[in-house]
Amino acid sequence: MRGLPENADWRDTAFVACASNPGLIQEVLDELTKPLSDRRHINGPIAASDGGHNFNGPHRFAWHFVPDQWSLAEISIELCDGRPYSDVEQNLPYWLYQVGRFCPWASAPLRAVSVSNALAAIPPKFSLNPTGDHLRVEAPFLLDGAVLTLYNSLGLPILTIPLSGPSCEIPLPPLPNGLYLIQLHFASTSVFRPLWLLR
């Protein structure tokens, strides 16, 4: 966000909008070649929840731009101008159900983040439930198209499951106690984590 006062809440400094439309992605990439002061601002409908992608550092917003339904604008009406946290987040029902869209004049594309970059920069969290029969996977983005593989200590795959959504709970088959390896493969990138199973 451009031109925020020095005492602005840090959660107002950035947000993430998602796009899969090649034309819209190219439009954003073209904006990134311009000086920051010449870049257009975002304008589009918003919906409840972070959508699996809208966050600023550790803060996950309670709203998101509807993917591929937003655009970049030269000018917008003042009614939908505001700040992502201090205005939208703090008065969410008003923004969702009365205004219905967000067009922060101070916004500008700052960088493109690919799904594979997000996986490397903000890896998902893995946790076992107390009985050790379910594995939970949580990510700050949608896992649609991701594949989780569980390997035994010999390196043999014993479970492969496709994932979807920002979080998944996977039932585990009866397995002996021991060390396992989790591989999450998503958008040509993989992350690996050890898993100790003790029941």
pTM equals 0.63
pLDDT per position in the chain (199 positions), as tens?
888 888 889 999 999 998 878 899 899 999 999 999 999 999 999 999 887 778 888 888 999 999 889 999 999 999 999 999 999 999 999 999 999 999 999 999 998 876 555 555 566 788 888 777 889 888 766 677 789 999 998 889 999 999 887 788 888 888 888 899 999 887 667 788 899 888 6
Q: Report how far residue 70's alpha carbon sits from residue 98's, in angstroms, rounded to the nearest whole number.
A: 18
Would you state the pLDDT for residue 130?
77
Would you state the pLDDT for residue 4?
83
Spell out the residues 6+ positions from residue 104 whose beta carbon is closer than 8 angstroms to its own: 1, 41, 42, 81, 82, 83, 84
Would you state the pLDDT for residue 99?
97
Structural domains of the chain, ranges and CATH numbers in brackets: 10-102 (no CATH), 115-197 (2.60.40.3080)
Task: Choose among 191, 190, 161, 186: nearest CA to 173.
Answer: 161
Pair of tokens at residue 126 = 């893995």
